[in-house]
Amino acid sequence: MSKSLFSIAFGVGTQNRQGNWLEVFYAQPLLNPSAELVAAISPLLNYEGGNQAIAFTAHQAYQLADAVESVDAAQAALLNRLAESQKPLVATLLAEDAAPSSTPEAYLKLHLLSHRLVKPHGLNLTGIFPLLPNVAWTNQGAVDLAELAELQLEARLKGKLLEVFSVDKFPKMTDYVVPAGVRIADTARVRLGAYIGEGTTVMHEGFVNFNAGTQGPGMIEGRVSAGVFVGKGSDLGGGCSTMGTLSGGGNIVISVGEGCLIGANAGIGIPLGDRNIVEAGLYVTAGTKIAVLDDQNALVKVVKGRDLAGQADLLFRRNSQTGAVECKTNKTAIELNEALHAHN
């Protein structure tokens, strides 16, 4: 068996009455763990290779802690804490970055993103949705929807309230990890699996989906859809939108370059290059007809939005007299034509 693994994590989670996993919390997930750590834990877990989620007991947690003490003191300390758990424990070992095949595997990949160990599009998340059960997220944790009504009644009979915050496949990120150096005004608007870079502020109307995020620093007051990554120093204005791969972007990876500004209530369906500005209220998609103007405001060419994807130093605006969408550049007509042809 190869002693080189893609990822390892020891977690504590929630199961329903049938023993099916609802969610898993990994306090210290590891990317590319040491061969010594793998060798120390494999015999105790009867791990023989591949991608596996292996349940273990509190007694085994103590054994694992002893086995890894000399190899990784932090993981040993975590395992000693997990040995005190009243909830089910699981060790998830990924030999390779293959499509997840279980709920613990899916949750590990979401943790790797939110712990900033891997950037969006850096993991194989194929088929993740069926592995994430739709559960009620309550003040008592994750609850199977089939068991919710009974538990609500039990709580009421005891004079208590089982409060349901959301019913969703994804929990909020901050219940699992709070990355260093960030501000999140409304934590319910950032899903587990989001990558929030240091220096990022997510305001109340901001939203960041899974497998999406920010390099930081930056201000997010709009929507960062699934698959979208926002570069360093870029700001998304209030109510603006980025078109994700799940909401019409297709197989085009939508991204925002460095130093960009997307105005309030604006939106993009194309990748933006560095230092782009999109006027407030303007939505630019791949098929939008755009009049490209040179540095003298002379019309050079009419193109589709996709033809300008990824190009730097552009200002997208709507002509308030004609309604035409225009793109202003600091290049001359000759330079601009060369750039357009090179891109095509």
Backbone phi and psi for residue 267, each to the nearest 5 degrees, phi listed first: -165, 160
Lookup: tokens for 191: 């899903």
| Pair type for strands 89-94 and 7-15 | antiparallel
| DSSP β-bridge partners for residue 242 | 268
SS3 9: strand
Q: Which ranges of the chain would DSSP assign to H, the alpha helix?
A: 35-45, 58-68, 73-82, 103-114, 145-157, 333-343
What distance in Å separates the CA atoms of residue 293 and residue 272, rounded to the nearest whole number? 18
SS3 156: helix
Query: Per residue in 126-147, is it b (16+ CB within 10 Å) or e — as a string?
Result: eebeebbbebbbbeebbbbeee
Nearest to 93 by CA among 84, 83, 102, 82: 102
| Pair type for strands 21-26 and 7-15 | antiparallel
No. of helices (H) and no. of strands (E), the chain: 6, 27
Question: Is the distance from CB of 271 to CB of 296 less than 8 angstroms?
Answer: no
Catalytic residue annotation: 221
User: HSE of 67 in the Cβ direction (CA atoms, 13 Å)?
Assistant: 17
| DSSP β-bridge partners for residue 317 | 326
**Which residue reads 């993991």 in tokens?**
123
**Which residue reads 């009620």 in tokens?**
136
What is the identity of the amino acid at 107?
Y
